[in-house]
Structure 1
Amino acid sequence: MKKLILSAAILLGGLSLQAATLSSINPVIKSVDVQDEYKEVDAVPAAVKTGLDNAYPGVKLDKAYVNDKKEYKIEITVRGEKSTVYTDDKGNIIKK
């Protein structure tokens, strides 16, 4: 009889653990758009345009940004594909 009561208590205890609500933790991910101290500009120097035309024939400049070191971050479109290119003020492509 003791075994029957003990078995019933264990079974009911096990079922109550299954019925317990578990709180799931949903991490909140915040994305921050960092421009690396680049500021948007309306025009780029002619040397930069020439350098891009030589490197990427048929390039279309979408947006341009400049930092304190006179490095340009340029968003371009070439044959329908968007890309980001970094150049210096002389039009040389910078690898980043």
Structure 2
Amino acid sequence: MRGLFWNVRGVGNAPTQRILNRIRKQHHLDFLAIMEPMVPLDGRFMARRLGFLDVVSNCGNQMWFFWGPDVRCQVLVDHEQLLHVR
């Protein structure tokens, strides 16, 4: 299983989204975790834009977790400073 954790700003703009999608394809990522995106999450749009199946965010919208078809995700703990998934 391959994944990437990234503290990225600017994820709301198209050039950053294209870079993330390129990284996903190049490294065959199964999941992507984005920390401190500083933009509201439009889940369906962003998951589709980055090439993932779905996404969850923590209650503070400061952590996003995207996953592809080979990953099953269940949120265990959702906290302002924590997102624990299985």
TM-score range relative to shorter protein: under 0.3
Q: Which has the higher contact order (CA 8 A, sep 6+)?
A: 2
**TM-score when scaled to structure 1?**
0.26
Q: Which has the larger radius of gyration?
A: 1
Report the structure, 1 or 2, having the larger strand content.
Answer: 2
